[in-house]
Amino acid sequence: MRYFIHISPIFTKSSLEELGGITSFSLVDNVLSAAIVDAEDERLQDRVRDSIFTYCAFPLYLTADLGTGSYLEVVLGAVDGLGIGKSRRLKLECIDINEKEGYSAKDIEVATGERLEGLGYNINIKDPEVLAYVVLMNGKCYSGYSDYSKLDKKFVNPMRHYQSKKQVSRAELKIWQAFDEFGISAGGTAIDLGAAPGGWSTFLAKRGFKVVAIDNGDLDYKAISAQGLRPLAVGIEKEIDAAALFESTDIVHVKGGFDDAKRLLRMGNADMLTDDMNIFCSDTAIAVESYLDLLKKDAKVIVTVKCLSKKAPNYIERARTMLGRRLEIERIKVLPANRQEFTVLASPRA
Ligand SMILES: C[S@@+](CC[C@H](N)C(=O)[O-])C[C@H]1O[C@@H](n2cnc3c(N)ncnc32)[C@H](O)[C@@H]1O
């Protein structure tokens, strides 16, 4: 079986090495963020779920040469040739890796969707039964399809999905992806370390959390307010009663370093601690540990850990040791929006 897999563009080598530990495969082609592989493993989609570097795998059934005809004709043939029943509600996604022909992936989807409708297909992007996808990469056109209801990830190209809504900062994509990937449910109170300009805090507040956002820098109060949220900045001159402030505020921004903020912060135990400070792993572990007494026993901790080189496995090992001193590490994942870093899901050790 041939697969399209979405891998980390920064840690391509580690991604492919890890995949080799999951299944035996031969590499058909790859670019930084994606690879086409042949593997006998029919369950590869499920097996990459717990991997660190591979975000998703989608089966491909046809391969065509893009050079043999008109671009859009090849794409149309690649979908039509899949043998998907015309009565089935079909959504099409196109991933154009090289974008050489001057069409955007969206243009190709629209043009091909219209042609498919002309051929009698039942195109339905709101409530699909089947997701058909076309991957255009290095002169080849790969196509495949999956049963939409059984798909864990509904988009073959995750970045397109996650860019579709307004964000306060690009970093917001990371917490959104972490929530989806780790299946986190909403609600309660959260402490967000290294919060500025406020993407994560905004995301958390929109998911129903009351948030204490900690950062020496300013949040983008205007952008946060434009999303219907009520931010409030407080200094670090005196005690901060977050529980009281939450009555009229969604995001309490404590404007100071995480250590000063911890000294002054008073609140009931929180359901979540997030940390996107982007500092050394050893300092991250110290920061997270210093807040553990403000967390509930079953709280979730989401932390990004920076890698100073592309040797991610070394940093992952270090994070397991350092964060593992006081935390139970549940998952480690390089999310599509992570740059030279990975995301850790953990909970306080009993
Ligand atoms: C990558 S940014 C965070 C982006 C944020 N998660 C968002 O979604 O907009 C890292 C932030 O960590 C903050 N930071 C670094 N060291 C810190 C410290 N010791 N205490 C508080 N904040 C710190 C920086 O000021 C910076 O704003």
Shortest-distance atom of ligand 1 to CA 199:
8
| Domain covering 172-348, topology | Rossmann fold (3.40.50)
Question: Mean pLDDT of residues grouped by 10 in the chain (350 residues)?
Answer: 93 94 96 94 90 95 87 94 98 87 85 97 97 95 96 89 84 96 93 98 97 98 96 96 97 97 96 96 96 97 94 95 97 94 96
Expressed in angstroms and rounded, the spacing between residue 232 Cα and the centre of ligand 1 is 17
Expressed in angstroms and rounded, the spacing between residue 169 Cα and the centre of ligand 1 is 12
CA-closest residue to ligand 1 atom 27: 196
CA-closest residue to ligand 1 atom 15: 277
Distance from C-alpha of 317 to C-alpha of 178, rounded to nearest angstrom: 20
- Cβ of residue 275 lying under 6 Å from some atom of ligand 1: no
Decide whether 2-160 matches 172-348 in CATH topology: no
Name 277's Cβ contacts closer than 8 Å, sequence gap at least 6. Answer: 193, 194, 258, 283, 284, 287
Shortest-distance atom of ligand 1 to CA 197:
9
CATH architecture of 2-160: 2-Layer Sandwich (3.30)
- Cβ of residue 276 lying under 6 Å from some atom of ligand 1: yes
- Cβ of residue 197 lying under 6 Å from some atom of ligand 1: yes
Distance from C-alpha of 220 to C-alpha of 169, rounded to nearest angstrom: 9
Amino acid at position 161, single letter: H
**Which pLDDT belongs to residue 188?**
96
Shortest-distance atom of ligand 1 to CA 171:
8
- Cβ of residue 348 lying under 6 Å from some atom of ligand 1: no
Expressed in angstroms and rounded, the spacing between residue 254 Cα and the centre of ligand 1 is 12
Expressed in angstroms and rounded, the spacing between residue 277 Cα and the centre of ligand 1 is 4
- Cβ of residue 295 lying under 6 Å from some atom of ligand 1: no
**Which pLDDT belongs to residue 253?**
98
Kindly report the pTM of this predicted structure: 0.94
**What are the extents of the domains in the chain?**
2-160, 172-348
**Which pLDDT belongs to residue 272?**
98
